[in-house]
């Protein structure tokens, strides 16, 4: 059964994809983020805009295509998410 994901979990998933799939160092396209993030296109574009606005993702324009890579702030977020996910899970809750 598919499990409900909180907004925080979706953001962590997107950031982790931007971190892990950026093997060539030239960023990750929105198609990859959509495939791994498992949210609709409309919601993804809004989330990406928020993440870029908050400095968690960095937008790179390569050959007229927008690509994204995770920022240092985004990496810190993932670090904190990992720690607090365990803490919340101890109380039977999800982040």
Partner 1 sequence: MNGLLMLENALQFVGAFVAFSIAIVSYKGVKQTRSSSLLRLAAAFVFLGAGFMLEGLAGFSSVDLLPGFEVSLTTLLISGLFLETAGYFFLAFSHMLDVVFDKKMGVMLALFPLMAINQSSLAVVLTSLSFYFILYGVVETLFAYSKNRNPNTLLIASGLALLAGGWWISLVSPDGLLLNIVQLLMKEVGLVTLFIPVLMFSFTKKGGWDGPV
Check if the beta carbon of residue 71 is closer than 8 Å to that of residue 57.
Answer: yes
36 sits near partner 1 (criterion: CB under 8 A):
yes
- Residue 88, SS3 per DSSP: helix
Which of 37, 44, 51, 67 binds partner 1 (CB under 8 A)? It is 37
CB-nearer residue toward partner 1: 62 or 93: 93
74 binds partner 1 (CB under 8 A): no
Please give the DSSP secondary-structure letter assigned to residue 63.
T
77 binds partner 1 (CB under 8 A): yes
Identify the helix (H) or strand (E) that includes residue 13: helix 7-20
Does position 41 interact with partner 1 (CB under 8 A)? The reply is no
């Amino acid at each position: 059964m598919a499990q409900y994901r909180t907004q925080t979990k979706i953001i962590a998933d997107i950031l982790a994809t931007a971190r892990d799939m950026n093997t060539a160092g030239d960023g990750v396209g929105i198609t990859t983020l959509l495939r791994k993030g498992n949210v609709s296109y409309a919601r993804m574009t809004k989330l990406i805009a928020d993440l870029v606005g908050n400095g968690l993702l960095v937008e790179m324009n390569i050959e007229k295509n927008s690509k994204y890579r995770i920022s240092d702030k985004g990496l810190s977020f993932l670090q904190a998410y990992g720690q607090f996910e365990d803490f919340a899970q101890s109380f039977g809750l999800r982040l």
